[in-house]
Structure 1
Amino acid sequence: MPEIVPSPVPKVPVWARPRGDVLRDVDAGYVARAALNSLDNLVRSAPAWGDVWRQRLALKSAASATRLLGRTEEESALRDAHLFRAAGDDSGPAGKVLLAWRRLASRSTTLDEELVRHIAELLDVKWDEALADVVRNAEDLASSPPPPPKSPPSFTGCGRMPNSWHFGWLMRCWRKNFVGPYPYPC
């Protein structure tokens, strides 16, 4: 049996820790960003448990997305429906949302038309020229330098499709959080 070597857990630098009550939004944002930076460094170090963590976050994201879609499935129901279905069985609408998130969490961060077509199919979004424009725009954004802080990504064309808000949300999360060699859901 191979020996399991624990990976070091990065700590928030001492200079970024609060020295008392945080009373202003700016200070709270600064401290939160320092903690997120430590978490980001941990994720980028590719720990042995990273794949499991990404799949767990995909499940949590799918549960949130199904609630936004007005469905009642919770994490346990999504997980059980996915794991206990027979090969080839339809996973249903909520299960397809979980499959979309799992697909996004298990791939590299390369955005390509094949991935987007598969995600659109899972979410019952019809592929057309407007969606192809969204993919081209996202590819341009992915290859460009990061936007300035508080500048939202623009996925033009999303507003003209049914279920487009959900698809645009997935694309925004991909752009915002799926950095490095492996993505992790927002």
Structure 2
Amino acid sequence: MKNILILRLLNKISTKKNSIMTSSKSYLIWNKIKLSGKDNKLVILGNGKFRRCTISIKGSNNIIKIESGANISFSSLEIVGNNCLIHIGKDTDIGGAYLSAKGESTKLAIGENCMLSRDINIMTYDGHPIYDAISGEILNHPKDIKIGNKVWIAANASILKGVNVADGSIIAFGSIVTKDIEGESIAAGSPAKVIKRKIKWEH
């Protein structure tokens, strides 16, 4: 499968002791894919699409799983650690995001029928560890992120570690989400707060 992807669809792929699993209907073009470590998996189901993305896994027993109908372009998906998961649900469109899961057994999950615009950051960690100066204990451990079904995240928004964004909600342009957002609501600001409830939206 790797040779087919390289020759026909212009992907640059580096993988050893890892696996890339795609269906006959999936579509990958102009991507950079690097899986290092062992027993890592990139799984693309049905007619899932990757275009002009950078996909990187470092560690062991990690999975990036893309469900059928998901359409991801101009994005970066990254796992660093062990037993981590990035999962993107059916028919979700992502047009330019940085999705990163780091740590041990952390999960970044995005539901079905979501819409993510450009320049979006979703990270399960703070970027660098912070230690207690006396004990040496790490103070800012990674935490899971869950984005529900049919969530719209507008451009330049950031979703930080430990956040759950419930079904049917909208995250406004440039917002920084640090706490859970209830379903069918609009959240805006830095830090983001709910400004409107009981809403519906369409693609």
Normalised-by-shorter TM-score class: under 0.3
Normalised TM-score (structure 2): 0.24
Higher RCO structure, 1 or 2 (CA under 8 Å, sep 6+): 1
Higher helix share: 1
Q: TM-score, normalised by structure 1?
A: 0.26
Higher strand share: 2
Largest Rg, 1 or 2 = 1
